[in-house]
C-alpha cells in the first residue's frame, strides 16, 4: 500500500515530526511504500540544514534526510509556508535577493499541487501536526 504523509508541526515542538518519522520507518519495514512526505505550516522548519541540536540528541533533519536517501522518499516543503519562515533553496534565495539558502539534503521546495498529487497517488494520507 502507498502512504502519503503530512507534517505540519515544527521540529522539537511537541512530537509530530518524530511520530511521522517512526510511522514512515514502520510502514517501510512492513513493505509499504511512502513516495512522498509533505512539510506544511511550521513543519517546513524540519528541512533546514542549519540546525545544530546537541550531539547526544536526535537530529530530526538528518533522520529525514537519511531516510529519503535510503528509500528515495520525496521530501517536499510548501513554498508559501517556507517563504514566510526563511526557508529558501538556492534558486529562491537568488530570486528573492537573499544572501543564503538553507534547504537540507533530500528536501525540495514546491507547491500545494504536490500535496494534492500525493493525495491522488497514494492509498492513505496520514497527517501529523499540532
Partner 1 sequence: MSTLHTVNKSPFATGSLRSCLAHARSGDAVLMIEDGVYGATAGTGLSDEIAAAARGGGIGIYVLGPDMAARGLDAGRVLDGVITVDYAGFVDLAAKHDRAVAWL
91 grid coordinates: 534558486
Contacts of residue 63, defined as CB under 8 A and 6 or more positions apart, other chains included, come to: 21
Torsions phi, psi for 26 (to 5 deg): -65, -40
25-27-30 Cα angle (round to 5)? 110
Of 65-124, which residues contact partner 1 (CB under 8 A)?
123-124
Question: Does the footprint of partner 1 cover residue 22 (CB under 8 A)?
Answer: yes
Binding range to partner 1, per CB under 8 A, among 13-21, 45-53, 97-105, 108-116: 13-21
Tracing cell 501529523 back to the chain, one arrives at 128
Active site residue 78: yes
Catalytic pick among 44, 68, 77, 78? 78
Which of 13, 14, 53, 69 binds partner 1 (CB under 8 A)? It is 14
27 binds partner 1 (CB under 8 A): yes
Q: How far apart are CA 80 and CA 44, in angstroms?
A: 10
For partner 1, which residue of 13, 26, 66, 91 counts as binding (CB under 8 A)? 26
Report if residue 40 touches partner 1, rule: CB under 8 A: no
Of 11, 15, 66, 6, the C-alpha closest to 39 is: 6
Q: How far is the CB of 129 from partner 1 (least distance, A)?
A: 4
Which residues of this protein are in contact with partner 1, per CB under 8 A?
Answer: 1, 3, 8, 14-16, 19, 22-23, 25-27, 29-30, 32, 123-130
Amino acid at each position: 500500500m502507498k502512504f502519503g504523509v503530512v507534517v505540519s508541526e515544527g521540529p522539537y515542538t511537541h512530537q509530530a515530526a518524530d511520530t511521522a518519522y517512526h510511522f514512515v520507518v514502520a510502514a517501510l519495514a512492513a513493505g509499504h511504500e511512502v513516495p512522498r512526505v509533505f512539510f506544511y505550516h511550521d513543519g517546513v522548519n524540519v528541512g533546514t540544514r542549519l540546525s545544530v541540536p546537541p550531539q547526544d540528541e536526535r537530529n530530526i533533519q538528518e533522520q529525514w534526510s537519511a531516510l529519503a536517501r535510503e528509500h528515495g522518499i520525496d521530501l517536499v516543503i510548501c513554498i508559501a509556508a517556507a517563504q514566510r519562515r526563511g526557508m529558501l533553496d538556492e534558486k529562491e534565495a537568488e530570486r528573492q535577493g537573499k544572501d543564503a539558502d538553507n534547504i537540507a539534503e533530500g528536501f525540495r521546495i514546491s507547491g500545494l499541487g504536490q500535496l494534492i498529487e500525493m493525495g491522488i497517488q497514494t492509498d492513505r494520507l496520514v497527517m501529523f501536526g499540532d
